[in-house]
Structure 1
Amino acid sequence: MPTTTAAPPGPSRDRLRDHLLAARLAGPVATTREASLRSYRLFAARDPRALLGIDPERDWRQPDLIELMAEKCGVSADPEHTFGHDVIDPDLTLAALDAFADRLREIARRAAPVLLGTGHPHRLLGFYAELAAALSAAGCDVLTPAQGRSVDILTRFGLRTHRLEYVRGVGLVRPAGPERTGCEPGAHTHSPLPVRLALDAAADAGGPLPELVIGDHGWVCGAGQLGFEAMGPADTDDPALFVGQAEGRVSVVVPLDDAVRSAYYRPLIRYVLNRASLSQ
């Protein structure tokens, strides 16, 4: 197995907890209670916009989802609490980061193939790119299937054609058409279609297939629904990942605000890579 170099020491657990609160990655977050409750209602109604590719086995009602999210995220369990900022328990975030890092360590130890992708490239691309680099250095095959292929995604403006691309080993989608200078690194999407396209392409090519998919939104839910191990972060208005975890199709979900400044995720990267004994 290729030798890995220990990452520079990451922040201590106490310092990382302080950072989570200061950066509003946990504690009171920007996501509102109203937005979260709306997502729970949509999920209970099995609206594809909230399912993110998960086909729930049980009938999840809104009270069930509030109870689940209170347990896994730390949001208020009071169904009468209907406005204000949502809250994430930083200790739940830290525990999930530990589980996330432990799973990375095992994957790296076996140099297993991985697939990474994000629907939040403007915020989380750097987070995943650091993971991709560390896993590649450990001997993992960081897969990039279906590079440049088209995928039609339903947006709030209607059906739009996008291209699946990989930036620093991380899958994302961009609107089809000529490149525009000064645009975002990719499109924000909750769709599971990009990961389905990637996994189909990998299978059609005869493999390898990923032993682990790392990402968010539809990348995690879409992969988990197809039977691939998947893990990643999720905000309080993303109940699909936590339902997937509760039903055994998502292995680790890290509760945190997924839309803060990109730089605020760097201490999390250092902590995870240090715990996983991976190089940066």
Structure 2
Amino acid sequence: MLSTGDLRVHLLAARLAGPVATSREESLRSYRLFAARDPRLLLGLDPERSWDARELLALMAERCGVSADPGHTVGPDEIDPERTVAGLEAFAGRLRRAAERRVPVFIGTGHPHRLLGFYAGLADALSAAGCPVLTPAKGHCVDITTRFGLRTYNLDYVRGVALVRERSVSGAGCETGAHTHSPLPIRTALAVGAEAGEPLPGLVIGDHGWVCGAGQLGIEAIGLADTDDPALFVGEAEGRVSVAVPLDDAVRSDYYRPLTRYVLNRACLSR
């Protein structure tokens, strides 16, 4: 069992919080693009109000613990580990409530190489608790605009976790997948599932467009977000994302295992 103190130590040692690999330059650029309503940064969210870059910086300082000083423009960005711990506590609370009600859940990631194991552990535990883990539209094509132009991806599931993979990648079900911020995969999954008469999720868990795309549709959504992903924190501030946990979302995959154990323990879902 991982104590809160041990978790805090791990967050700092693994650079999941504290000084993180995401640069200040990346974060500030993301805030400017979000303020300009660049769809690459909105992640499927349609903000209710206008957010300028300075307001976004203030929000991210409040929610993540980044420096609120606009004159701080270079170097690594920083996440307050206390805010990460608080976010994980709230995240666990939502999992516990979903398990108690046995609601259908949908789990998806845009970081399959890093976060698949974290989410798969949640899928296993929620399934064991009686929550249907939904896998609609498996194999369906999704056209996503990338910096290389329009690319077609296939929607797939690994251990109950949705991801997209390039059509040229063989071996459906294997643990390869593409990095994506797009909300189109979850929109496709939910639309196809609804057409087939499958239940809608009562909770969506994930990151990037999986969370913002679901939240924009009015589905309860919780997820993880880095300092250069302001959309989840705006969604949380505006009430369309229930929980946004601040942490570095691109460290080694095994560094997230203690977080899985901690969250499941706090959600009373440990086995």
What band does the TM-score fall into relative to the shorter chain?
over 0.9
Deviations 1:18-58 (A, max 9, x none): 00000000000000000000000000000001000000110
Deviations 1:123-172 (A, max 9, x none): 00000000000000000000000000000011121100000000000000
The answer to whether structure 1 residue 231 and structure 2 residue 218 are counterparts is: no
The answer to whether structure 1 residue 40 and structure 2 residue 31 are counterparts is: yes
What CA distance in whole angstroms lies between the structure 1 residues aligned with 2:96 and 2:236? 20
The 5 A counterparts of 1:197-276 are 197-276=188-267
**What percent identity do the matched residue pairs reach?**
74
Q: Which of the residues 13, 31, 45 maps onto 1:22?
A: 13
Question: Residue in 2 aligned with 1:6?
Answer: none
What TM-score does the superposition give when structure 1 sets the normalisation length?
0.94
Per-residue deviation, 1:203:
1.2
Question: Residue in 2 aligned with 1:154?
Answer: 145
Q: Which of the residues 76, 90, 96 maps onto 2:81?
A: 90
What CA distance in whole angstroms lies between the structure 2 residues aligned with 1:257 and 1:178? 27
Give the 3 Å change call, closer, same or farther, for CA 30–178 of structure 1 in structure 2.
closer
Deviations 1:66-86 (A, max 9, x none): 000000000000011101000
The answer to whether structure 1 residue 179 and structure 2 residue 199 are counterparts is: no
**One-letter code of the match for 2:246?**
P
Deviations 1:226-263 (A, max 9, x none): 11010110000000000000010000000000000000
What CA distance in whole angstroms lies between the structure 2 residues aligned with 1:228 and 1:237? 23
Question: Residue in 2 aligned with 1:52?
Answer: 43
What CA distance in whole angstroms lies between the structure 2 residues aligned with 1:25 and 1:168? 24
**Structure 2, gaps ≥5 residues long:** none
8 Å contact from structure 2 (residues 105, 133) kept in 1: yes
Deviations 1:197-234 (A, max 9, x none): 01111211222110000000000000000110101100
**One-letter code of the match for 1:83?**
V
8 Å contact from structure 2 (residues 54, 70) kept in 1: yes
Q: How many residue pairs align between the two structures?
A: 270
8 Å contact from structure 1 (residues 212, 230) kept in 2: yes
What CA distance in whole angstroms lies between the structure 1 residues aligned with 2:192 and 2:241? 22
What root-mean-square deviation, in Å, do the aligned CA atoms of Structure 1 and Structure 2 show? 1.3
Extract structure 1 runs of 4+ deviating beyond 2 A.
Answer: none
8 Å contact from structure 2 (residues 96, 267) kept in 1: yes
8 Å contact from structure 1 (residues 138, 279) kept in 2: no
The answer to whether structure 1 residue 168 and structure 2 residue 159 are counterparts is: yes
What CA distance in whole angstroms lies between the structure 1 residues aligned with 2:111 and 2:120? 12
What CA distance in whole angstroms lies between the structure 2 residues aligned with 1:259 and 1:177? 24
The 5 A counterparts of 1:117-128 are 117-128=108-119
